[in-house]
Amino acid sequence: MTEENLETMKPQKIKFTSLPEEDGMLIVDLIEKRSPLSKSIIKKLMVFGAVFQTIGTKRKRVRKAKTIQKAGNIIECYFDPKIDLNEEFEFKNLYETSHYGVYLKPSGALTEGTNSGDQTSLFRHVEKRKKYTHLINRVDRETEGLVVVAYDSKTQNLFQEMWRDQVIKKYQAIVLGTIEGSGSFTNQINKKFTKTDYQCIETESNKTKVEISLKTERKHQIRIHFSEAGHPVIGDPIYGEKNKNRKGLKLISYALEFTDPYSKKEVKVILPEDRKLF
């Protein structure tokens, strides 16, 4: 294969099992042999976190080109041109103890990586700095918001136990149309119960500013609930009609309130005023 830039590549999904005669080969040489990709591009994809190996039942990313392969290893290599793995984001640490941190994930950034890479994700940003990294919650790629990251397994378990019922999760959104008062949305998403509480703040120009409190957390829960109610979030690229917005999705996770599992002090982390919607 001739040399090319990642930007000009077509989507790639390569998966194979290394053969007995390939035992002892470097992973970069093996992928080059078994795919149409050049060695330089394979190395870039490895840095980006888009190459995996599975040994037995353990699957993990491989970043070192000189990793030696054994017969029977499953190798995977992915590339998605829709994801700009060279893009840079600022992940501000808004609150931190020795056990965990609360980070601001900007709109457009991934909370964690996909098969196509993790170089620009919040998870990778923290992983480079901490020996142990575990995401307690996730925020949609299009949504700006707060993410808690545990730095050890004990803290991970403590937050997972308290997350659903003992952590207050607040959002702001601007939705299409006029809504008044307060209320709740409940339904099934992927056969699981969901509940979203809301309080309308102000209506202007056929748009309503809404404060939201999540009682459950499912993928796109807020976006689905408001869309099904006829009031899709402004700028949502997936749900609703007549809600387009050049500046993106008008939905943010702006506040988390919880009791520190170690100090027992009340913690309230809020986005800076210039990052709020209203």
- Give the H or E element holding residue 181: none
- Give the pLDDT confidence score for residue 2 in this predicted structure: 42
**3-class DSSP state for residue 255?**
strand
User: Could you tell me the residue ranges of all domains in the chain?
Assistant: 6-79, 92-166+263-275, 168-253
At residue 85, the pLDDT reads 72
* DSSP result, the chain: -----GGGPPPEEEEEE--GGGTT-BHHHHHHHHSS--HHHHHHHHHHT-EEEEETTEEEE---TTPBP-TT-EEEEEE-TTS-TT-----EEEEE-SSEEEEEEPTT--SS-BTTB-TTSHHHHHHTT-SS-EES----TT-BEEEEEESSHHHHHHHHHHHHHH-EEEEEEEEES---SEEEEEEEETTEEEEEEEEEEEEETTEEEEEEEESS--TTHHHHHHHHTT-PBTT-SSS-SS---TT---EEEEEEEEE-TTT--EEEEE--GGGS--
pTM metric for this prediction: 0.88
Superfamily classification of domain 6-79 = RNA-binding S4 domain (3.10.290.10)
- Are both 6-79 and 92-166+263-275 of the same fold? no
pLDDT in tens, the chain (278 residues): 344 566 677 888 999 999 999 999 999 999 999 998 899 999 999 999 999 999 999 999 999 999 999 999 999 999 887 777 778 899 999 999 999 999 999 999 999 999 999 999 999 999 999 999 999 999 999 999 999 999 999 999 999 999 999 999 999 999 999 999 999 999 999 999 999 999 999 999 999 999 999 999 999 999 999 999 999 999 999 998 889 998 899 999 999 999 999 999 999 999 999 999 99
> Is 263 buried (19+), middle (13-18) or exposed (0-12) by CB count in 10 A?
exposed
Q: Which fold has domain 168-253?
A: Pseudouridine synthase (3.30.2350)
CATH number of 92-166+263-275: 3.30.2350.10
Task: Quote the CA–CA distance of 98 and 168 in Å, as a whole number.
Answer: 22
Q: What is the pLDDT of residue 64?
A: 95
At 83 the pLDDT is: 74
pLDDT at 207: 97
